[in-house]
Amino acid sequence: MLNSRIDQVYLATGATDLRKSIDGLAILVTESFNLDPFSRNLFVFCNRKRDKIKILEWDTNGFWLYYKRLEKGTFKWPNVSDSKTLLVSEREFRWLLDGLSINQKEALSTVKERIII
């Protein structure tokens, strides 16, 4: 799913009514988040119980809508009250999909400079 076509990953903070389909989620992206649903971004939504997510992605001539329902457990959805969206890295997004918090204090940090020997 994530590849060179994707620029950013935005999480919709709080719970979203996942009865919404592509059109309803695209309207949320436009009107509530002031973002462009036709951009090269992923928009990720979670339900109140935190056991289901939907991901909206524009792909050249149409939308993809991914849906994941957990059989056990919940997503570690971040609690952010001061914003309607949260920009996360691809790495943080993968942690979230794997059932982890996006704040992994034990994770190794990304190397920004390489030592050439």
pTM: 0.83
Per-residue pLDDT of 22-35, as tens digits, reads 999 999 999 999 99
Cα separations (Å) of 98 from 23, 40, 75, 90, 92? 27, 23, 8, 12, 10
Least confident of 11-15, 34-38, 99-103: 99-103
pLDDT of residue 71: 93
In 23-105, DSSP assigns E strands to 41-46, 52-58, 63-69, 85-88
Q: What is the DSSP string of 7-23?
A: -EEEEE-S---TT--HH
Per-residue pLDDT of 6-15, as tens digits, reads 899 999 998 9
DSSP three-state, residue 90 = helix
| Residue 42 amino acid letter | L
Confidence of residue 109 (pLDDT cuts 50, 70, 90): low
